[in-house]
Amino acid sequence: MTQPLFTPAKAGAIEASNRIVMAPLTRNRADNDTGKVSDMHVDYYRQRAGAGIIITEATQISPEGKGYLQTPGIHTPGQAAAWRRVTDAVHEAGGKIVVQLWHVGRISHTSLQPDGQQPVAPSAINAGVKTFTANGFENTSDPRALELAEVPRIVADYANAAKLARDAGFDGVEVHGANGYLLDQFLKTGSNHRTDAYGGPVENRAKLLLEVMEAVTKVWDAGRVGLRLSPFSPANGISDDNPQDTFEYVIKELNRFDLAYLHMVEGATGGSRDLQDGQSIDKLRKLFDGPYMANNGYDREMALQAVKDGDADFIAIGRPFIANPDLVARYERDLPIAQGDQSTYYGGGREGFTDYPEYIAEAAE
Ligand code: 8OZ
């Protein structure tokens, strides 16, 4: 009997050939000056088109939304044209691909910002973490609090990026609301000390996220718009006084959009799946009316089980896709999984990016 994990499914209007999704993976190989992807990205994503859906690496929606060296952008026509070559290649190979729309907020450094300015954030509170610049790992710069009058511009930047994503031929977009970046910074109390309409009670802290979802679903059919959240993750120095309540509110509000999917980082991003007392991913998942995409530390057995039990519609797998371009075929046939070389995860060229072989190719050598 075919396992449900390997059967087609719809994420809203996006028709996936199976339920294994390639999770967004930052690889820092775009041109640092233009934010364009290149030939090697075309090959990298084409090789991974066996995923039911590919979610691209996080991609900044504006120059100000950038926080690391050599991450790609989707705010200029040139960047969209470069991405078009990627989407064409993935489609020719029979895959689906959405772009992850990213604004880093305070997780940045003045050397990465337009005119060397301060990064922007809900409040002027340094995350106290590191980012990666031309000088290697550096402390995040002190951010400045966004003026109330600037918030509509941020929303407009998301809409502009969403439009360019259409020009680029993507199957949809995923809004990055996770991992301590701008939208998560607004949601959570540790980073949002605002006293205006965007701070204080959860209704206010969630306002920017919901305005962004509203704007993006005006550009795209909502059935082609996903959202990633990480309610309980401490990633990038983020914290919330009561994440369970915060995200119960957010998810109930999201139900009005009829989104393609909700993509949840279950636990600490790239780390433990353990939760504290009073925290429940299960409860949040059940509150959401649409397709649910689970992520964080799933291996083959966990993925098979979660989809079979109806606990998830899709499973997003990240790091294993680095060294296993044919991960879906390997899971389907229960073949060995290759280990990636961590020294080539971030930055560099084709090595550790486009040179991982498929299982068959490896065995034939
Ligand atoms: C790893 C390194 C840099 C950025 C995320 C976009 O955590 C990222 C990221 C991951 O969502």
Q: Which of 257, 345, 245, 307 is nearest to 8 (CA)?
A: 307
Task: Determine if ligand 1 sits within 6 Å of the CB of residue 179.
Answer: yes
Task: Determine if ligand 1 sits within 6 Å of the CB of residue 296.
Answer: no
Number of domains in the chain: 1
261 a catalytic residue:
no
What is the number of alpha carbons within 13 Å of residue 194 lying toward its C-beta? 26
Distances, alpha carbon 34 to alpha carbons 44, 101, 301, in Å: 19, 17, 41
What's the confidence (pLDDT) of residue 364?
53
pLDDT in tens, 110-157: 999 999 999 999 999 999 999 999 999 999 999 999 999 999 999 999
Task: Determine if ligand 1 sits within 6 Å of the CB of residue 168.
Answer: no
pLDDT band at 20 (very low <50, low <70, confident <90, very high): very high
**Mean pLDDT to the nearest integer, 192-221:** 98
Q: Are 298 and 306 in contact (CB under 8 A)?
A: yes
Q: Are 140 and 238 in contact (CB under 8 A)?
A: no
pLDDT in tens, 4-17: 999 999 999 999 99
In 220-326, which ranges are continuous DSSP H helix? Answer: 243-254, 281-287, 300-308, 320-323
Could you tell me the residue range of the domain that residue 294 belongs to? 4-364
What's the confidence (pLDDT) of residue 111?
98
Mutate to test the pocket of ligand 1, among 25, 26, 263 (most ligand atoms within 8 A of CB): 26
* Residue showing tokens 């971030």: 346
- What integer best gives the mean pLDDT of the chain? 97
pLDDT band at 304 (very low <50, low <70, confident <90, very high): very high
Residue having the nearest C-alpha atom to atom 3 of ligand 1: 26
Residue having the nearest C-alpha atom to atom 5 of ligand 1: 179
What's the confidence (pLDDT) of residue 226?
99
pLDDT in tens, 228-281: 999 999 999 999 999 999 999 999 999 999 999 999 999 999 999 999 999 999
End-to-end CA distance of the chain: 32
For 133, the token pair is 């610049």
CATH of the domain at 178: 3.20.20.70
**Mean pLDDT to the nearest integer, 319-344:** 97
Strands (E), 53-96: 53-60
Q: Are 73 and 56 in contact (CB under 8 A)?
A: no
Task: Determine if ligand 1 sits within 6 Å of the CB of residue 233.
Answer: no
Task: Determine if ligand 1 sits within 6 Å of the CB of residue 58.
Answer: yes
Residue having the nearest C-alpha atom to atom 6 of ligand 1: 58
What's the confidence (pLDDT) of residue 362?
55
Which of the residue ranges 44-58, 284-298, 351-365 would you say has the lowest mean pLDDT? 351-365
pLDDT band at 361 (very low <50, low <70, confident <90, very high): low
Q: What are the beta bridge partners of residue 58?
A: 100
pLDDT band at 216 (very low <50, low <70, confident <90, very high): very high
Residue having the nearest C-alpha atom to atom 9 of ligand 1: 26
154 Cβ contact partners less than 8 Å away, ≥ 6 residues apart: 62, 103, 146, 182, 208, 212
Residue having the nearest C-alpha atom to atom 7 of ligand 1: 179
What's the confidence (pLDDT) of residue 252?
98
**Mean pLDDT to the nearest integer, 69-98:** 99
User: Which residue in the list 68, 181, 261, 359 is annotated as catalytic?
Assistant: 181
**Mean pLDDT to the nearest integer, 177-198:** 98
What's the confidence (pLDDT) of residue 91?
99
Distance from C-alpha of 333 to C-alpha of 242, rounded to nearest angstrom: 43
26 C-alpha to ligand 1 centroid (Å): 5
361 C-alpha to ligand 1 centroid (Å): 30
What's the confidence (pLDDT) of residue 161?
99
pLDDT band at 363 (very low <50, low <70, confident <90, very high): low
Using N-to-C axis directions, what is the helix angle for 207-219 and 243-254, rounded to 10°?
A: 30
CA dihedral 144, 150, 152, 154 (to 10 degrees): -40
Distance from C-alpha of 365 to C-alpha of 362, rounded to nearest angstrom: 6
